[in-house]
Amino acid sequence: MYQKILFCADLYASSDYAFAAALDLAERSEAELIILHVLESRHRYSGHVITEDGETWAGPEVFEKLKKKLREYYLIRIEREDPQNVRVEVRAGIPWVEICRFARKEKVDLIVMGPYTIHDPKAPLDLEKPHLGHNAQEVSLRAPCQVSIVTSPKQRLALEKAGESPREKKRKRTQE
């Protein structure tokens, strides 16, 4: 089915459901899962990015640091000890622009993302009413492939009814 699935990570809980869905899909399709995070640039044109260390140039050190953080955050949620088909990538710029550019270049089949990102992690999650954020909007309109916006765990894949997921099968096997 899918060969390359692109998950747009924002490092906050708002996209965790989307990650679960992307992972699930990648395993069923035996697709490559790419975890992409885009460091947001402050301006349209200048290329200075906002990191937790403040506003800075998007240089290799910044990217490496971020990749490490992404691996820590996401790879632990994957049950397999040494995930073969998972790749972590980092870009800098305007998120929706970079996501579309990446998807086009890598010929991705499906983009999975959360509906919006939280700009202030200290604020409680439910104060943000569900809405479609700017990046989600632009990506769904402009992406070269299908886009799946996952907002809650209730949004399961219809395929599930058709049969057990590989994970379910494996769990049953180990239980025996």
Partner 1 sequence: MHRKESDTRPVDVKKIRELLDANNGARIRTWLSLCSRCGLCAESCFFYLAHDRNPKLSPAYKFKATLGELYRRKGRVDRDFLYRCADIVWGECTTCKRCSMYCPFGIDVATLIATTRIILYSQGITPEGLARAVVNYRETGNQMGMSSEDFVDTCEWMAEESRDEIKGVTIPIDKVGAKYMYTVNPREPMFYPQDLAMAAKILTVAEEDWTMPSTGWDCTNLPMFAGDRALAGQVVRNMYEKAVALGVQAILITECGHAYRSALFEGPYLAGYPDGKPPVPIVHSVQLFYEYVRDGRIRIDPAKKLKEPVTYQDPCNVSRNGGLWEEGRKLVQFLAEDFRDMNPNREHNHCCGGGGGYIPMGPEYKARRMASGRVKAEQIRATGAKIVIAPCHNCFDQVSDLNKEYQLGVKVMSLKEILCELMVVPEKFQPELVEEEETD
Binding residues vs partner 1 (CB under 8 A): 41-48, 54-57, 93-94, 97, 101, 104-105, 142
In whole angstroms, how close is the CB of 138 to partner 1 at the nearest point? 10
In whole angstroms, how close is the CB of 102 to partner 1 at the nearest point? 12
User: Which helix or strand (DSSP H or E) is residue 104 part of?
Assistant: helix 95-106
Question: Which residues lie closer than 8 Å to 45 by C-beta, 6 or more apart?
Answer: none
CA gyration radius, the chain: 17
User: Which helix or strand (DSSP H or E) is residue 25 part of?
Assistant: helix 16-29
Give 55 or 160: the residue with its C-beta nearer to partner 1: 55
In whole angstroms, how close is the CB of 47 to partner 1 at the nearest point? 6
Give 36 or 94: the residue with its C-beta nearer to partner 1: 94
In whole angstroms, how close is the CB of 43 to partner 1 at the nearest point? 4
User: How far apart are the C-alpha atoms of 108 and 60, rounded to whole Å?
Assistant: 24
Q: Are strands 86-93 and 110-113 parallel, antiparallel or unpaired?
A: unpaired
Give 45 or 161: the residue with its C-beta nearer to partner 1: 45
Give 104 or 134: the residue with its C-beta nearer to partner 1: 104
Question: Which residues lie closer than 8 Å to 132 by C-beta, 6 or more apart?
Answer: 115, 116, 149
Q: Looking at this protein, which amino acid is placed at residue 133? A: G
Give 2 or 102: the residue with its C-beta nearer to partner 1: 102
Give the E-state strand segments of 2-139 in sequence order.
4-8, 32-40, 48-51, 54-57, 86-93, 110-113
In whole angstroms, how close is the CB of 54 to partner 1 at the nearest point? 7
